[in-house]
Structure 1
Amino acid sequence: MSPPFDPALHRRHANRWFDDFKLGERSVLPSRTMTDALFLAFQSASGDNHPVHYDVEYCRRRGMPHMLAHGYQILIQTAAGAGDFPFMVEDSLIGFLDQSSRFLLPVYSGDTLYPALEITGLTPTRTTGVIGITSTVHNQASKLVMEGTQRYLVRRKPAG
């Protein structure tokens, strides 16, 4: 007979603490093709009403092959919640501290993006630590279209 169900134990991963992470750990996030529907959804959510993001003929008159993705539309592909990280730190995560991004190449409707996260910094303090993550997004032609950083404050493993 199995033990009674406990919702607190219904987890994807055992909790990890700051000290459990290692430099170089890499997390591949789901790939996604930037469809016209995703462009429309992003425009609706962001309120950005520049025609470069929703009017394909406007873009073609300016020499672009299709609608141009907004930088934030690319950035959100690196949301840690699309991968396993937030499920690993359910009990130890204190907060998302900051992020920065550089947009290197244009992304158009129809492009497929391949985001990934890699732990590149571990800065311990007495009871917490900062996990630094490098975020990258490549396109279907293997070109790096965005790179950035994210930092999270995570508790260290309790003594005992």
Structure 2
Amino acid sequence: MIEFDPAAHRMVPQQRWLEDFVLGERFVIPSRTMTPAVFAAFQTASGDTHPVHYDVEYCRARGMPNLLAHGFQTLIHTAPGSGLFPFMVEESLVGFLEQSSRFLKPVYADDTIYPALEVSELTPGRSTGVVTLRSTVFNQRRELVLEGLQKFLIRRRPAASP
């Protein structure tokens, strides 16, 4: 009979603590093409019904090549759960503290975006600390379309038992 332990059923078996992170370390999030289905899902979730996001002829009449993605529609692709970061801190994560972002260039339907998170600051405290991740999204033309930051409160490594 095979022994099974649900606690060992993890995406990333080695847990990480504040001390384990390194400035410049990157967490790539899978790329995604902004298909009409992505636009429809965002419209359903957000309730946003402005035609600039859902009527291609409205967009073309205003000089845009396709539907314009809502800024938040681009931002959601930087959700850490889309990559490995939150799986690495299942034991040490206390909370998500802060998020900010700047939308630098338009994202249109059929663009492919490439999100990533990078450790940009580590602020240790006594028992916890803050890991600041710089969020970036590039498009298929290698243009930076979004940049921002996300801050997480992470526990320090527990003291070893004597």
> How many residue pairs align between the two structures?
159
Residue 5 (structure 2) pairs with residue 6 (structure 1): yes
Give the distance between the partners of 1:12 and 1:42, measured in 2 at CA: 27
Deviations 1:5-45 (A, max 9, x none): 11001112211111111111101110000001110110110
Q: Residue 150 of structure 2 corresponds to which residue in structure 1?
A: 150
Taking structure 2 as the reference length, the TM-score comes to: 0.96
Q: Which amino acid aligns with 1:65?
A: P
Q: Which amino acid aligns with 1:11?
A: R
1:96-111 alignment to 2 at 5 Å? 96-111=96-111
Give the distance between the partners of 2:53 and 2:142, measured in 1 at CA: 23
Residue 48 (structure 2) pairs with residue 48 (structure 1): yes
Instruction: Find runs of 4+ consecutive structure 1 residues off by over 3 angstroms.
Output: none
Give the distance between the partners of 1:36 and 1:22, measured in 2 at CA: 38
Residue 24 (structure 2) pairs with residue 28 (structure 1): no
SS in 2 for 1:5: coil
Taking structure 1 as the reference length, the TM-score comes to: 0.97
Q: CA RMSD in A?
A: 0.9
Give the distance between the partners of 2:135 and 2:10, measured in 1 at CA: 25
Unpaired segments ≥5 residues, structure 2:
none
Residue 124 (structure 2) pairs with residue 124 (structure 1): yes
Give the distance between the partners of 1:137 and 1:153, measured in 2 at CA: 23
SS in 2 for 1:137: strand
Q: Which amino acid aligns with 1:126?
A: R
